[in-house]
Structure 1
Amino acid sequence: MGLKFSFVSIADALNRLSFTAAGLRRDTIAVDSSTTIRCWFPPSFSKPPLLLLHGFGTSATWQWRPQIAALATHFDLIVPDLIFFGGSTTLSPERSEKFQAEAMVALLGKLGISGEVVGVVGTSYGGFVAYHVAKMLGEAWVGKVVIASSDLGKTEEDDLAMTQRAGGVHTVEDILLPSSAAGLRLVLRLAFHRPPSFLPNFVLRDALRKLFNDNLAEKKELLRGITLGNKDLFQLTPLPQDILIIWGEHDRFFPLNKAYEVKKKLGENAKLEVMKNTGHVPQLEDPNQFNKLLLSFLLAEDEK
């Protein structure tokens, strides 16, 4: 017999309900002749726009739900699924995080946000993309940048260290693209400082089917296409915008020492906030504190 009752489907519906309750609607937008982006955004724009970029793994509704209500009070939220997540896709062979950023910039244009000050928030892989968006648009367009749990200075040695922390895993792909309940349980153990204490295997298998099994070949290509750490393709340099770096104290994907390295490389406009008792997804483990840090930074008067 197939699984009739799905906790994952119910949770997915509740996630989407939180977006619609905040006044957002979902649509699929062709940003060019080969790329379409599934995105949540308001029916009209009257507040400062804020772009939220999710990390690797699940789609945007699963990674930003605890932030939506708090942020929508102050901002017009633009919450896309990155390419090959959710309903976003491309016919282009490009797979770099810079290509993702180019699609996000094109999305802003399609939404009619042209020449306005945009805030950008990215977590993990989404932080890679957020950095490129900020770099492309510059200070005149992007007002403030938030990089959460995102090692912009990562190298092949860091990837190797991650697999060693995972224990018995050969590649980063094996970690981030789980194919079994045990693999997904490992992801949760690495991502959360306090992972869920009891998740039956049937729930994990349901999550794999509904949340992780789409576009697997393309997602592998995305991981291989990351340019960070390739000195010929990427150089991490300071940004002109004000930057907030948020990091979980017990991050097992990107250890805390990497946060201080990123802060140093991003320059004098960057400040770091370390969230205690959280891991790689502080926005989910302690959303109240995460939201407080976000709003305090984003709503503060420009000190320049």
Structure 2
Amino acid sequence: MEPALKSTSLPALARRFLLFPNRLSLVSFQDLLLSRSFQRRGLIPVSVDLPPSAAGAAATIHIWIPAEPRHSLPPLVLIHGFGANAKWQWDRQIGPLSRFFNLYVPDLIHFGGSRSDGKDFSVGFQSRCLAAAMKQLGVSKYSVVGISYGGYVAYRLATDAGPAVVDRVVIMTAGIGATAEETKALAEKEKRDVSEILLPRKPEDLMALMRRSVHRPPRWMPTFLLRDFIEVMYTEHRKERVELLKELLTKGVGIDPLPVLDQETLIIWGDQDNVFPLHLAHRLQRHLGEKSTLEIIPDAGHALQLDKSNCVTDLIENFMLDKLDDS
């Protein structure tokens, strides 16, 4: 059966930029430039429609896929975190990685162009949607990389699909091993609703999020630009993202006790992570045991793929190509 694919050559944010010329949105324009960057690397955007039977509720997954997959290269899925869409989080990695892998870069449900009318906000639902989308695309086996929230999804996907489908796994700065009590304590430490931090409404909140996520954030940014970013990236589907966050904070991966993955797994963490403490990286490595490797990147925060993009890219490449010991 042919997969239900729809071309998305002109992103919604680009249309917004073009339809309202009197209101110049620099963020929408940058989003358009990122789309062009992905296309220059040989990727095209498609939307995969999933029937209710595929994941438990009807959904549409927007995903960047190779325009011309090279059969000699292994497939690699990059799963973004709880922030902007996939393009903004993986742009620095797709150039180098596209030389060695057929890249698949999805927007998670309720981010970017991915949607669902269902009321399942669990990590398991995100995992099932990605698995169903990859199956419809005809990719039977692949490796996965997930950062932060995407790390939870990658872990669940590797657990549910097993090594017959998911080959190798990279988990980046995701507090998967935190107990329910620790997660609650981390949330309460903020002295405010966590959704107000991760889904900022005001420029000062966005700056606070940047300072929390990036090791050396910019000292100042124009207020109009911060407001533009909030309007473009955090306004749409805010209610659904709040529900996703609540589900994550209460249930995590969604399997208790936490399973041990059968796949070879690389854990990458920044030593200056101010979201998930470094001890959670060591705990996850101990939980996974001999099939796991932990790499700690110095002078990197939570958004380590931005802080140390070349180092992160090299670690992913070497691990996936089984060259980690030689790097």
User: What is the TM-score normalised by the length of structure 1?
Assistant: 0.92
Unaligned runs of 5+ in 1: none
Aligned to 1:78: 104
What's the CA shift string for 1:230-286, capped at 9, x where partnerless? 798532121111100000110000011111111111222111000111100111111
Aligned to 2:150: 126
The 5 Å alignment of 1:138-177 reads 138-163=162-187, 166=190, 169-177=191-199
Compare 149-158 and 67-76 and name the one that shifted more: 149-158
Deviation, 1:165, is 5.6
What's the CA shift string for 1:197-231, capped at 9, x where partnerless? 22111111010001111101101111112276579
Aligned to 2:47: 28
Does the 8 A contact of 1:245 with 1:272 survive in 2? yes
Deviation, 1:158, is 3.3
Deviation, 1:11, is 2.3
Tell me, in whole angstroms, the C-alpha distance in 1 between the residues paired with 2:238 and 2:25. Answer: 22
SS in 2 for 1:109: helix
Q: Does 1:207 align with 2:229?
A: yes
Tell me, in whole angstroms, the C-alpha distance in 2 between the residues paired with 1:57 and 1:198. Answer: 20
Tell me, in whole angstroms, the C-alpha distance in 2 between the residues paired with 1:180 and 1:13. Answer: 24
Q: Does 1:106 align with 2:141?
A: no
Q: Does 1:59 align with 2:88?
A: no
SS in 2 for 1:86: coil
The 5 Å alignment of 1:1-304 reads 4-33=23-52, 34-45=58-69, 46=71, 47-114=73-140, 116=141, 118-163=142-187, 166=190, 169-226=191-248, 229=251, 233-300=255-322
What's the CA shift string for 1:157-198, capped at 9, x where partnerless? 4344444664xx412212111111111111101101111222
Tell me, in whole angstroms, the C-alpha distance in 1 between the residues paired with 2:241 and 2:159. Answer: 24
Tell me, in whole angstroms, the C-alpha distance in 1 between the residues paired with 2:309 and 2:198. Answer: 23
Cα distance change of structure 1 residues 199 and 99 upon mapping to structure 2, 3 Å threshold: same
Tell me, in whole angstroms, the C-alpha distance in 1 between the residues paired with 2:90 and 2:182. Answer: 26
Compare 122-131 and 194-203 and name the one that shifted more: 194-203
Amino acid at match of 1:30: D
Deviation, 1:155, is 3.5
SS in 1 for 2:81: coil
What's the CA shift string for 1:66-98, capped at 9, x where partnerless? 000111111111101000000111122111001
Unaligned runs of 5+ in 2: 1-20, 53-57
Tell me, in whole angstroms, the C-alpha distance in 2 between the residues paired with 1:216 and 1:232. Answer: 22
Cα distance change of structure 1 residues 20 and 52 upon mapping to structure 2, 3 Å threshold: same
Does the 8 A contact of 1:165 with 1:252 survive in 2? no
Compare 39-48 and 236-245 and name the one that shifted more: 39-48
Tell me, in whole angstroms, the C-alpha distance in 2 between the residues paired with 1:232 and 1:243. Answer: 19
Amino acid at match of 1:108: M
Aligned to 2:12: none
Compare 27-36 and 3-12 and name the one that shifted more: 3-12
Tell me, in whole angstroms, the C-alpha distance in 2 between the residues paired with 1:109 and 1:184. Answer: 37
Tell me, in whole angstroms, the C-alpha distance in 1 between the residues paired with 2:255 and 2:103. Answer: 31
User: What is the TM-score normalised by the length of structure 2?
Assistant: 0.86
Tell me, in whole angstroms, the C-alpha distance in 2 between the residues paired with 1:183 and 1:202. Answer: 14
Cα distance change of structure 1 residues 158 and 7 upon mapping to structure 2, 3 Å threshold: farther
Aligned CA RMSD, in angstroms, stands at 2.1
SS in 2 for 1:195: coil
Cα distance change of structure 1 residues 210 and 231 upon mapping to structure 2, 3 Å threshold: closer
Paired residues, number: 298
SS in 1 for 2:229: helix
